[in-house]
C-alpha cells in the first residue's frame, strides 16, 4: 500500500493527508521523527523533511509542494488545484501564503514553543514567540474572512488545496489553543464548512498523549 511518512503537528503533512482523502487515495501513515535524522529516511529525502510519499511501485515523492502537484497530475479525477492556469495561479499564491507566511508568522512559533520544546526537553516555551503568533493570526483570520466573503472557497468557485492548506495550519494552531475564532465570523464559518468534510475527520481525531486540544477542537459546530 501507499505510505505517507508524516509528523503529528506538521501542517504540510496534514495538507497531504487531507488531499489524499479528498482524492479517495488510501494510504498507510507512518510517523517519522525527523529530528532523529534516520539514515534510511535521509536516503529517501536528503532534506530530512516530512511529508514523504512512497507509492506502491516504489516511486518516492518528497516535499509537500512536489507531492501536491504530483497527486494532482497523476490522480486528476478529483481536481484540487483549480480549472484554469489563472485559477491555479491563485491557488498556488495562497499555498505560499499559508505554507510560507502563515507558517512563519503563526504555526512555526506555536509548534516550536508548545510542542517541540516540550517533547525534546528544550526548556520553557518563549512567551514572546507565542504572543507574536497570537498577534499575527488575527490579520490572517481577517484575510481568510475577506476571501471567504467574496468567493465560494478561498481561491474561487472550487474547493482547492488553498482551503486545505489553510485548514491544515489552522487545525494545528487550534489544537494548540492558538486560534481566537471570535476575531472573524466569516473565517469561522468557512472553517466549519471545511471541518465538516469527511477528509478532515481523521486529522481532527489525532490525539497526542500529554497534550490536550481545547474542547471545541474536533467539534463541527463550535
Helix residue ranges, H only, 6-126: 11-22, 39-44, 64-74, 85-96, 108-110, 117-119
Give φ, ψ of 124 to 5 degrees: -70, 145
Query: Hey, what's the cell of 214?
Result: 481545547
132 with 125: CB under 8 angstroms?
A: no
Site membership for a second copy, residue 105 (CB under 8 A): no
Choice between 162 and 204, CB closer to a second copy: 162
Figure out which of the listed residues 8, 29, 38, 69 binds a second copy, where binding follows CB under 8 A.
69
> Of the two residues 108 and 192, which places its CB atom closer to a second copy in the complex?
108
By CB under 8 A, which span of 16-24, 61-69, 167-175, 190-198 interacts with a second copy? Answer: 61-69
Distance between CA atoms of 159 and 136, rounded to whole angstroms? 25
For the CB of residue 62, give the shortest distance to a second copy in the complex, in Å: 5
Question: What is the smallest separation between the CB atom of 67 and a second copy, expressed in angstroms?
Answer: 8
Instruction: Count CB atoms within 10 A of the CB of residue 56.
Output: 9
Kindly tell me the burial class for residue 55, based on how many C-beta atoms sit within 10 Å of its own C-beta (0-12, 13-18, 19 or more).
middle
Distances (CA, A) of 23 to 18, 56, 72, 94, 196: 9, 17, 9, 20, 16
Residue numbers 125-154 binding a second copy by CB under 8 A: 143
Residue 156: strand, helix, or coil:
strand
56 binds a second copy (CB under 8 A): no
CB of 21 to a second copy, least distance (A): 20
Residue 193 Cβ, how far from a second copy at the closest point, in Å?
Answer: 23
Pick one of 47, 78, 122, 208: the residue that binds a second copy (CB under 8 A): 47
Binding flag, residue 63, a second copy (CB under 8 A): yes
Contact string (CB under 8 A) for a second copy, positions 82-101, x = contact? ---xx-xxx-xx-xxx---x
Q: Which residues bind a second copy (CB under 8 A)?
A: 45-47, 59, 61-63, 65-67, 69-70, 73-74, 85-86, 88-90, 92-93, 95-97, 101, 143
Amino acid at each position: 500500500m501507499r505510505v505517507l511518512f508524516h509528523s503529528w503537528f506538521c501542517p504540510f503533512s496534514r495538507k497531504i493527508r487531507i488531499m489524499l482523502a479528498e482524492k479517495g487515495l488510501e494510504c498507510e501513515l507512518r510517523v517519522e521523527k525527523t529530528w532523529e535524522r534516520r539514515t534510511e529516511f535521509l536516503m529517501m529525502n536528503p532534506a530530512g523533511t516530512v511529508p514523504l510519499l512512497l507509492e506502491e511501485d516504489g516511486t518516492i515523492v518528497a516535499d509537500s509542494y512536489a507531492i501536491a502537484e504530483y497527486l494532482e497530475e497523476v490522480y486528476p479525477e478529483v481536481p484540487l488545484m483549480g480549472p484554469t492556469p489563472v485559477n491555479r495561479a491563485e491557488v498556488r499564491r495562497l499555498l505560499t501564503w499559508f505554507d510560507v507566511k502563515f507558517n512563519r508568522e503563526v504555526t512555526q512559533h506555536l509548534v516550536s514553543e508548545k510542542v517541540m520544546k516540550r517533547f525534546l526537553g528544550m526548556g520553557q516555551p518563549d512567551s514572546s514567540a507565542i504572543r507574536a503568533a497570537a498577534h499575527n493570526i488575527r490579520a490572517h483570520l481577517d484575510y481568510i474572512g475577506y476571501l471567504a466573503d467574496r468567493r465560494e472557497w478561498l481561491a474561487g468557485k472550487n474547493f482547492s488545496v488553498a482551503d486545505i492548506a489553510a485548514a491544515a495550519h489552522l487545525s494545528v494552531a487550534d489544537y494548540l489553543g492558538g486560534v481566537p475564532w471570535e476575531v472573524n465570523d466569516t473565517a469561522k464559518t468557512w472553517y466549519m464548512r471545511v471541518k465538516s468534510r469527511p477528509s478532515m475527520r481523521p486529522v481532527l481525531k489525532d490525539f497526542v498523549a500529554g497534550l490536550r486540544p481545547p474542547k471545541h477542537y474536533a467539534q463541527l459546530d463550535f
